Structure 1
């Protein structure tokens, strides 16, 4: 199963490191974005299977972006996975209330972790 992914983060360093890591694990990183507006535009253009969204996008909220991605994406929304350097427990209630399929701590990011999350998400939807 070939997966396409868009990475949304305000850190250029993280976007590049995540791209290299995921591509080495067989996930096609079709693009990157730094802001909500750019992420929405790129998602519409690129139609990725999943979007990795940093919870803290500087002045913007990854939680807001997750809602927008699932509300306004035509033709079926991508799977949204929230990522952060913060601990999941710091945002547990907000993560649970979001439309994201999962939270993944940045140090645990891998193609295998994303594949596992998406297999579980697809299984839940079937």
Structure 2
């Protein structure tokens, strides 16, 4: 679905952050909620599937490295289950370092954690 078809509906986009760093999740949630997003969180792939199955999710932000789990595999599982909306991978690493992983994943794009914002998410979905 094109970003313009959902962006800003009902007062904000419904995001799911899948990341095992509590510190990052707290900071990202505060930032994105201040920008008008509605944010749910999960720390594992299993939690992500459960949350995305229970709540409306427009975009999932999945960390590339989830402890012992591979974020691309979690993205693939969400996509296979038709959950989580459009999926973006996030990481502290740059897109160039992750090009092969991104190309082989169900994720539609990438946002560096250092650049995370509603505008960056929207821009990544337009590419």
Shorter-chain TM-score: what band? 0.7 to 0.9
TM-score by length of 2: 0.87
**What is the TM-score of this pair, normalised by structure 1?**
0.87
Q: CA deviation at 1:34?
A: 0.4
| Count of residue pairs brought into register by the alignment | 117
**Could you give the per-residue CA deviations for residues 51-86 of structure 1, whole angstroms, max 9, x where no partner exists?**
100000000010000101111126xx5110100001
Counterparts of 1:41-120 in structure 2 under 5 Å?
Answer: 41-73=50-82, 78-118=85-125, 120=126
Are 1:44 and 1:73, in contact at CA under 8 Å, matched by a contact in 2?
A: no
Long gaps (5+) in structure 1 = 122-126
Contact persistence 2:14–2:37 (CA under 8 A): yes
- For residues 109 and 50 of structure 2, what CA distance do their matches in structure 1 show? 22
Aligned Cα root-mean-square deviation (Å): 1.3
Gaps of 5+ in 2: 1-7
